[in-house]
């Protein structure tokens, strides 16, 4: 029996794929299987895959003649998984050293935990990798869900997140109704089934570039926030009658308005006026009194709030000479 199965969906990420797969097989873990699912790439990805299968054992390929989309790749990998643990790793991301060993050791010793995740850094920003001793925090599933509802935020990146394969099979497939925020609805389902754990250690490195979703949402957060809201509501629909859905929904809608308000101000400091207008409309359409009484309490619900405030002020100071 293999210990962990890793699915790597790929579409035209041949330039990143080698580094991604190398990061998997450099982990100090026995019993790794990898499935690379290629969605009809037109770059050099196929030649890179041939090179990788010659270099490493236990790499399986699913080469598709047509692009069937992200959800089909994710769900194919769920069908394929059969080891104790499972993770999806995007082809443009990288596992941090020791990430799998940390996650597997913790899950082996905490049978109540169904999913674990950790900190992430942007590729190239590796100066923080060894600055903090790894500590684990366990959360009851309901507490995890409530916290996400109170901030309207997905803080769990796919890279470095490891789940129990048996739980993944029980939870089922990714929901094709969710697009930009596919993963958050899945994380909520895991929390609805059991406990979740977080480590302060860096578990993965993500890459920002013009072809991923993050590049789009940096300019206009509004569409992502709408998709995020939809993901939560789809989860509530599935979980109706099993938990505190009514409270969670109330907390979510308040937090969406609050996050939209502050994000609009951040967009304004960066000169992103279209994005700011979308976000202000989203916030004030349900809570117009924020014009007079800003939702200051939201600032204290997010760990990164003050860092973001300082970043926005810095952007404003840089722009002020041009405005004046």
Model confidence pLDDT, tens digit, residues 106-123? 999 999 999 999 999 998
Q: Which residues pair with 118 in a beta bridge?
A: 199
How far is 271 from 83, CA to CA, in rounded Å?
A: 49
Q: Which residues pair with 61 in a beta bridge?
A: 36
Q: pLDDT by residue (tens digit) across 39-82?
A: 999 999 899 999 999 999 999 999 999 999 999 999 999 999 99
Q: pLDDT by residue (tens digit) across 135-192?
A: 999 999 999 999 999 999 999 999 999 999 999 999 999 999 998 889 999 999 999 9
More confident residue, 74 or 207: 74
Q: What is the pLDDT of residue 268?
A: 87
Span of 171-175, 195-199, 266-270, 275-279 with lowest mean pLDDT: 266-270
Residue 209 has pLDDT above 80, yes or no: no
How far is 296 from 300, CA to CA, in rounded Å?
A: 8
Half-sphere exposure (CA, 13 Å, Cβ side) for 321? 2
The answer to whether the CB of 96 falls within 8 A of the CB of 202 is yes
Element holding 85 (H helix, E strand)? strand 85-88
End-to-end CA distance of the chain: 66
- Residue 35: CB partners within 8 Å, gap ≥ 6? 5, 6, 7, 8, 59, 60, 61, 62, 77, 80
How far is 107 from 98, CA to CA, in rounded Å?
A: 14
Q: What is the pLDDT of residue 316?
A: 42
| Domains with residue ranges and CATH for the chain | 4-207 (3.90.550.10), 220-323 (no CATH)
Q: What is the pLDDT of residue 320?
A: 47
What's the mean pLDDT when you consider all of the chain? 88
The answer to whether the CB of 206 falls within 8 A of the CB of 159 is yes
Which spans in the chain are helix H? 14-25, 45-55, 70-80, 99-109, 141-151, 165-171, 182-193, 213-219, 221-239, 245-269, 273-284, 305-323
Q: Which residues pair with 205 in a beta bridge?
A: 94, 121
Q: pLDDT by residue (tens digit) across 230-272?
A: 999 999 999 987 879 999 999 999 999 999 999 998 888 888 8
Over range 272-286, report the average pLDDT.
Answer: 91
Residue 219 has pLDDT above 90, yes or no: no
Which residue has tokens 């969605």? Answer: 39
How far is 182 from 191, CA to CA, in rounded Å?
A: 15
How far is 323 from 206, CA to CA, in rounded Å?
A: 34
How far is 24 from 315, CA to CA, in rounded Å?
A: 37
Which residue has tokens 């578990």? Answer: 203
Q: Measuring CA to CA, which residue among 298, 321, 93, 303 is closest to residue 202? A: 93
What three-state secondary structure class fits 198?
strand
How far is 290 from 82, CA to CA, in rounded Å?
A: 50
Give Cα separations from 175 to 185, 190, 211, 221, 240 (angstroms): 8, 14, 22, 22, 17
How far is 186 from 87, CA to CA, in rounded Å?
A: 12
- Residue 324: CB partners within 8 Å, gap ≥ 6? none
Residue 210 has pLDDT above 50, yes or no: yes
């Amino acid at each position: 029996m293999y210990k962990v199965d890793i699915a790597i969906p790929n579409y035209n990420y041949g330039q990143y794929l080698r580094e991604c797969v190398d990061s998997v097989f450099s982990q100090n873990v026995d019993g790794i299987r990898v499935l690379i699912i290629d969605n009809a790439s037109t770059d050099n990805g196929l030649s890179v895959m041939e090179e990788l299968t010659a270099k490493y054992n236990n790499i399986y390929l699913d080469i598709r003649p047509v692009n069937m989309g992200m959800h089909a790749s994710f769900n194919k990998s769920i069908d394929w998984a059969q080891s104790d643990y499972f993770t999806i790793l995007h082809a443009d991301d990288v596992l941090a050293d020791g990430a799998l060993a940390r996650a597997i050791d913790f899950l082996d010793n905490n049978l109540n935990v169904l999913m674990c995740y950790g900190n992430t850094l942007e590729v190239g920003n590796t100066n923080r990798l060894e600055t903090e001793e790894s500590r684990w925090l366990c959360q009851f599933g309901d507490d995890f869900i409530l916290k996400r509802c109170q901030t309207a935020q997905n803080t769990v990146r796919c890279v470095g997140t490891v789940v129990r394969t048996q739980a993944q099979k029980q939870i089922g497939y990714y929901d094709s109704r969710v697009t930009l925020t596919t993963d958050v609805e899945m994380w909520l389902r895991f929390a609805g089934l059991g406990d979740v754990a977080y480590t302060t250690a860096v578990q993965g490195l993500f890459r920002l570039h013009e072809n991923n979703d993050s590049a789009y949402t940096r300019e206009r957060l509004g569409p992502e926030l709408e998709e995020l809201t939809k993901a939560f509501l789809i989860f509530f629909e599935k979980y109706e009658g099993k938990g505190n859905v009514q409270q969670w929904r109330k907390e979510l809608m308040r937090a969406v308005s609050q996050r939209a308000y502050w994000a609009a101000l951040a967009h304004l400091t960066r000169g992103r006026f279209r994005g700011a207008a979308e976000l202000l409309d989203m916030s004030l359409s349900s809570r117009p009194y924020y014009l007079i009484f800003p939702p200051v309490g939201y600032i204290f619900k997010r760990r990164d709030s003050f860092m973001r405030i300082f970043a926005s002020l810095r952007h404003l100071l840089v722009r002020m000479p041009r405005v004046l």
